[in-house]
Structure formats: C-alpha cells, structure tokens
Amino acid sequence: METYAPTRKEAFELLKEYNQDESLIKHALAVEAVMRHFAKKVGEDEEKWGLIGLIHDLDYEMFPQQHCKKTEEILKKRNWPADYIRAVLSHGWGICTDVEPQSQMEKVLYAIDELTGLIAATALVRPSKSVLDMKAKSVKKKWKDKSFAAGVDRAIIQKGADMLGMDLDELFTDTIMGMRQAATEIGLQGNNQDE
Ligand SMILES: [Fe+2]
Ligand SMILES: [Fe+2]
C-alpha cells in the first residue's frame, strides 16, 4: 500500500476523532507547522513531513499508557504508508519505542517535539505573548532555567540537535519560524492585533 498517501484533511479528521483536548490539538498543529518549515528548508515533501507532525501524538489523549503503540495500530489499519508510521514511532525513541530516528525527517521530529512546548511556554510569559516577535535568545534563557517548563526534557532536544548537527540557536530559530506560520491556530499570535 506504499502508493497511498493520506491527505491533510484525512489526517486532521483522524486527529479530531482521537483528540478533544485543545492543548493537544495545538501541540499537533505546532509540530506540523515546524515540520513543514524544515521540509521546505531542505527541499523535501512539505505535505508528508507536515502530516507526520500533525499525527505524531494521535493516541496520547486516549491511550497514554500505550503511547506510540496504539498510533501504530490505528495507522496500520488505515493503510498509512510504512515510512509515515516509522517516523511517528521514532519520536518516542527510548521512551515508548525502540525505533531510532534515522532519516532527516525523523531526526527533525525528534528534535522539535519537546522544543515546541518550551517555545510556547516562553512565548506566553513574554509581554507580547507571541512567537511573532520572539527570538532564539529568549528561549535560550528559559532553556538554562531548569525550573521553567520543567516537564520539557532538555536532554532529548539536545540529543536531537546533535543528531541533526545543528547548534541550539539555529534549531530554536527554525522552530520559532515554523511556529510563526501557525501562530493564530496555536494561540501564539499575541495581543498585538488587539491594540
Ligand atoms: Fe509523543
Ligand atoms: Fe508531541
């Protein structure tokens, strides 16, 4: 079934079928936007990278104890291509799967998943509450403050950056740029427009 490629509409409907929690949907949209940004940057398939980002935590709300495993089951049943499924599984490498990120697409997903959470949290404590005017420097400051967004595993992000051969500044900048593309949908457009 390698020829079948899911559409954005299908993927989003599937996401909504398994997720009600608004913060999880925003996380999915943030990861999608960043994956699209990186795909564009390296001249790869934006749609494919984006959909994988959108769906990567599909099972998390309903099956947190079987995270990744359930998504694999659901996507297989729907004939999603094997490389899409592998990529989704690889974001949980060392946590809920033993699928090590290999392709550039997988490494990017691994590196930016947790990072989108740190960037969103950083944006929300800024006066503008926005990613639109935010720089890597702000994230760097919060990166060092381990008590800030303590649930964000810095070691995973660092490991992802190392896999990609990127320094943190570059990774932060690209991830912010990706999140800007979906700023409104993920609630990080800030209060600029209201003024
Ligand atoms: Fe996950
Ligand atoms: Fe995630």
What is residue 195's predicted lDDT score, i.e. its pLDDT? 43
Which SS3 state, helix, strand or coil, does residue 8 take? helix
Asked if 191 and 130 count as a contact pair (C-beta separation under 8 A), the reply is yes
Ligand nearest to the CA of 91: 1
Q: Say how many Å lie between the CA of residue 76 and the centre of ligand 2.
A: 20
96 alpha carbon, closest ligand: 1
Helix (H, G, I), strand (E, B) or coil at 93: strand
Can you give the pLDDT at residue 183? 98
* Residue reference for tokens 């926005």: 130
* Count of other CB atoms within 10 angstroms of residue 9: 8
- Ligand 2 center from residue 135 Cα (angstroms): 22
**How remote is the CA of residue 169 from the centroid of ligand 2, in Å?**
21
| pTM of the full structure | 0.96
Calculate the CA 114 to chain-centre distance: 7
Which residues have a beta carbon within 5 Å of ligand 1, which is an ion? 57
Q: Ligand 1 centre from 138 Cα, in Å?
A: 25
CB 15, CB 57: distance < 8 Å: no
Q: What is the pLDDT of residue 2?
A: 53
Report how far residue 16's alpha carbon sits from residue 79's, in angstroms, rounded to the nearest whole number: 18
Ligand approaching nearest to the C-alpha of 67: 1
Cα(50) to centroid(ligand 1), Å: 15
Q: What percent of the chain has pLDDT over 90?
A: 95
Q: Are 189 and 130 in contact (CB under 8 A)?
A: yes
Measured in angstroms, how far is the CA atom of residue 139 from the centroid of ligand 2? 18
pLDDT score of 191: 81
- Over residues 148-185, the pLDDT tens digits come to 999 999 999 999 999 999 999 999 999 999 999 999 99
| Confidence grade of residue 107 (pLDDT, cut at 50, 70, 90) | very high
pLDDT in tens, 54-63: 999 999 999 9
| b/e per residue 79-108 (b: at least 16 CB within 10 A) | ebbeebbbbbbbbbbeebbebebeeebbbb
Q: Which ligand is nearest to the CA of 24?
A: 2
3-state SS class at 189: strand
